[in-house]
Structure 1
Amino acid sequence: MMRSVRFLLLALALLGPAPALAVQVDEILPDPALEARARTISHDLRCMVCQNQSIDDSEAPLARDLRLLVRERLKAGDSDAAVVDFMVARYGEFVLLKPRLSWHTAILWGAPLTVLLAGLLAIGVSLWRRPRGSALPEVVALSERERQQLKAIAHTQLDGV
């Protein structure tokens, strides 16, 4: 009996943090194939309110409207690509969670590589300009006068404590 309770608690703890889909019952299409297509498409579309969630995960009213629009277009007979193109035409590339590679998004896709190459170039120039054989500064022994000054400073510090 105790083992069953522990198993149930463990199962609840593991399933608790699972993301709840925001799709409401009245939005679900009766055709399972169309509903699966709608879920796939809405999983790749950004909620314009939340901006970091798909419309499938967002509970914002605008996300609900977008989910309904996706389902409406699918019921009208549009292909998946046509639905995505319609959403992009209406809301811009920002509606896509994974932007397409195009001239409009070239900076977005190329910036990480450019920053990486600039960093490698800066490291290379820094190493190239460094004088040869001077990786560490030369260690010079203290003179007798400097040792006496160091002892005086140390005694002054200890007397003050």
Structure 2
Amino acid sequence: MAAGVVKFFNATKGFGFIAPSSGEPDVFVHASGIDSPEGVNDGDEVEFEVVTDRRSGRANAVDVRVTNRAPAKPQSAGRVASAKAPGESLGQAAGAVKWFNTTKGFGFIAPDAGGPDVFVHASAVERAGLRDLQDGQRLEFEVLSDPRTGKLSAANLRTQ
């Protein structure tokens, strides 16, 4: 078990880096490797296992657990909402998984009501207590709209 501090984590993109306490080079962490339901924030102290990615040969953090939360940082005036902001809720929807790639950590849901497909990230799948999604799987979910781009994403997934 290794220890370190979250150097940076982008919740929107679902990845970041941990600075190990041992002084080793920073370790990549994907959202799927985080065991904490609240996720991680910059400055959090964590414990984790290090595995080597078969394709890249780089160190990856898995089984990441927060041991000490960093104090919340106030946002400066005029600053755009952080990547951790979930976006505006457009309400509940139902639909079927169009496709989901566990390796890439994302996929899309085709809403029953029509309209554009809704992006779903692996972190939303994990927060729902699911391992992955199957093509055609029925879901109910909250639709969020990114305040900057207007793109739709799914949160609070529930199987039907």
TM-score range, shorter chain: under 0.3
TM-score w.r.t. structure 2 length? 0.20
Q: Which has the higher contact order (CA 8 A, sep 6+)?
A: 2
TM-score by structure 1 length?
0.20
Higher Cα Rg: structure 1 or 2? 1
Task: Name the structure with the higher strand share.
Answer: 2
